[in-house]
Amino acid sequence: MTRKPSVCQEIEPALLATAIGDADTVTAARVEVHARTCALCRQDLVRYRAIEDAVGAWRGAPAPAEELAHARLESRLAALRRRTLLYRIFP
């Protein structure tokens, strides 16, 4: 495996933060400037952003059996409340 130049290793956390939208504008600008002249880091930026995009599709996507799970919880909580009420009346 080719070892990255030290300047690339140093900028890597900032590059990652930039790719996922965590970096401040100054850091992001520094990364973009570096990526313009460094093919390896440019490629890394693209790949991290692709991960970010793919994960973005998970947001708001319903999970399997979501409504069933919700109904089961409501029913269990209702039973718990009934038991609590009964205990208060007949301790």
| Residues 19-58 close enough to bind other proteins by CB under 8 A | 20, 22, 44, 46-58
- CB of 7 or CB of 51, closer to other proteins: 51
Q: How many CA atoms lie within 13 A of 76 on its CB side?
A: 6
Looking from the CA of 2 toward its CB, the CA atoms found within 13 Å total 4
Query: Does 66 interact with other proteins (rule: CB under 8 A)?
Result: yes
- 3-class DSSP state for residue 58? coil
How far apart, in whole angstroms, are the C-alpha atoms of residue 67 and residue 86? 29
Binder of other proteins out of 7, 29, 40, 65 (CB under 8 A): 65
Residues found near other proteins in the complex (CB under 8 A):
13, 16-17, 20, 22, 44, 46-59, 61-66, 68-70, 72-74, 76-77, 80-81
